Amino acid sequence: MLLLLFGFHLKMGSLRSFGTLKPTITDSFVHINFMCMKTEELYAVITGASQGLGKSFAEQLAKRKINLILVSLPNQNLKEFARELENRYTVKTCYYEVDLSVNENVMKLTEWLNTSFEIYILINNAGIGGTKKFTEASPDYINTILQVNVAATSLITHQLLPNLLRQSGAYILNVSSMAAFSPIGFKTVYPASKTFIHSFSRGLYEELKETSVFVSVVNPGAMKTNPEVCKRIEKQGLLGRLTLLNPDKVASRCIERLFKKDSVIMVNPVSWLIMKVLPIWIKLPLMTKAIKREIEV
């Protein structure tokens, strides 16, 4: 049962704007033709916006007539999704395709955003995780998780914060995980990275609470974020299907509570309570045993 409390999302970043802006992708960098005119209109930035929870966030904000900048990895149909949102909700959308595991890409993205847009909502949703023996994990595997989950989230927030601070009211929502509340063997790096996100968000909230920028964090469990996650959870039987969260409902709840200024957003209170009540000496071996069975299948 405890395994069902922890979900991870395979989602990262990518951008283009309809009309004039046409970035091209190389192995490591995003090259942007800076032809997009600077606008004074307000925008929301969502990373990991091509699927799962990020896609649902975009839908929820578009329903509220909020202009969007969608960030995700290349080749994930982001252009089509952005156009769909424009047509359905009569909002302005840009999209940006980029690998957020490369720091230089992150810096180029934020430079473009600060040059071209007034931003009042930042949703750091991009994240990546996996299940693997630590001894068999490659340096690239470990580095990618840390770069996307920890470094990219921190750098994007840091670089966009001056932009957010000059708005009369602005919001940051960071997506952590229920995995932030317990270490897990055979995941190791992923829960640690989500613990960072939770702690980072709580500290930044306290630091900025006297400013115009409000900071919130959400710690969801397993969600129907992509076919791989759904397939893994469905194998856990009836209980797995019953506890699997719907990204649309999670996104709706998060946006509602964000605008009501909840600094910690709860979307699965039962799981939250269980994780708070169970001591680490129970959680850790149970979670690790369950995850070990997963990789041995």
The catalytic residue positions are 190
Residues 45, 78: Cα–Cα separation, whole Å: 14
Burial of 136 (0-12, 13-18, 19+ CB in 10 A): exposed
How far separated are the first and last CA of the chain, in Å rounded? 18
Q: Looking up tokens 């063997």, which residue turns up?
A: 185
Token code pair at residue 250 = 């999670």
**H helix runs in the chain, sequence order:** 52-63, 78-89, 103-116, 139-146, 153-165, 189-208, 227-234, 238-243, 247-259, 269-277, 280-296
Half-sphere exposure of 169 (CA within 13 A, CB side): 4
Pairing of strands 67-72, 42-47: parallel
DSSP 263: S
**CA torsion, points 104, 173, 186, 231, in degrees to nearest 10?**
-100
C-alpha distances in Å from residue 7, one per residue of 51, 193, 209, 245: 15, 13, 29, 9
Spatial CB neighbours of 246, under 8 Å, sequence gap ≥ 6: 223, 224
